[in-house]
Chains A and B, each alone.
Chain A
Amino acid sequence: MRPLSSAFAAGLLLGVGLAVSQMVNPAKVIGFLDVAGAWDPSLLFVLGGAVVAATIGFGLAGRLTATPLFAEAFRSPTSRAIDLRLIAGSALFGVGWGLVGLCPGPAIAGFGLAPGSLALFVAAMLAGMGVFSLSESLLMQRHPPRSA
């Protein structure tokens, strides 16, 4: 139960952070992205606060323990490639983010507050993720990765 409790607690804390910082409000995010309008730099301060806290925390965690408290190993992202997939995917994400003012975290956190307003966006987001997973598995079937 402990890994489930800690995952729940981490989600809860992240949700509180997104509420405190008002990032659950898409209008607040659009206010940041709209540099030619009444620009609101708040999002930059959210990102800055989060990155500084996480940098210090990750560093301390690394010195504290070689394995996570409730799991067998740290799962570091393995990919280091700056390739077309990374850039194209991030660009598509950025366009969607700009159209609505929602990214995955605030969409789910905001869903708890205003399910009626966000259900359609969340459903479309899940569908987009589903299309990706489906296209990946089809691609793998047609062109299985060759073993070296």
Chain B
Amino acid sequence: MANFTPVAAIVGGVLVGLAAVLLWLANGRIAGISGIVGGLMTPQRGDLAWRFAFILGLAAGPLLYAGLGGAVPAVEVTPSIPLLVAGGLLVGYGTRLGGGCTSGHGVCGLARLSPRSLAATVTFLVAGLVTVFIARHALGA
């Protein structure tokens, strides 16, 4: 557990939770990234601007933190190009079919005590664990 960073994890996690509360309290929306991004693909009048504003903020957040002197981690992307494409397609399609991702089901759904979100969260966690086990250990990649 050499890379374990519990304090940064809890502090960052609390900020993520507060961001979800802010979007709920101010805009009445669930902070599910896949839903917010996916909603851009079925555009409805008056429903696009807040999505773009949120996404812009999300991309700017780490830059702001770096600008304030925060220790921003390296973004280490090691998979091959075919794996990146396959992973992206699966994440995009899967989160839309399942109605949420780590933020929507994992953070907001669990906080709202939703059994549906608990089922989704357990499913993608197990699928992720099994995938990494097969890729790293069974196939020895």
Residues in chain A within 8 A of chain B (CB atoms): 2-28, 30-31, 33-55, 57-58, 60-61, 64-65, 67-77, 79-82, 85-100, 102-105, 107-114, 117-118, 120-133, 137
Contact = CB atoms under 8 A, between A and B. Distances in A.
A120 B34 contact: no
27 contacts: A7-B54, A10-B26, A11-B54, A13-B19, A14-B16, A15-B60, A16-B15, A17-B19, A19-B72, A37-B136, A40-B2, A46-B16, A48-B10, A49-B10, A79-B99, A87-B119, A87-B120, A89-B93, A93-B95, A95-B94, A95-B128, A96-B87, A96-B91, A100-B87, A108-B58, A109-B58, A128-B90
Contact of B14 (A53, A97, A131): A53
A20 B12 contact: yes
Given A27-B78, A125-B88, 4 more contacts: A17-B16, A82-B115, A90-B123, A114-B77
Given A98-B135, A123-B88, A91 B94 contact: yes
Interface residues of B, number: 112
A18 B111 contact: no
Contacts of A51: 13, 17, 106-107, 110-111
Interface of B: 1-6, 8-31, 33-34, 37-38, 41-42, 49-51, 53-66, 70, 72-79, 81, 83-99, 101-103, 105-116, 119-121, 123-133, 135-137
Contacts of A73: 28
Contacts of A102: 77, 87-88, 91
Contacts, number: 499
B83 A100 contact: yes
Given A36-B136, A49-B16, A51-B111, A125 B91 contact: yes
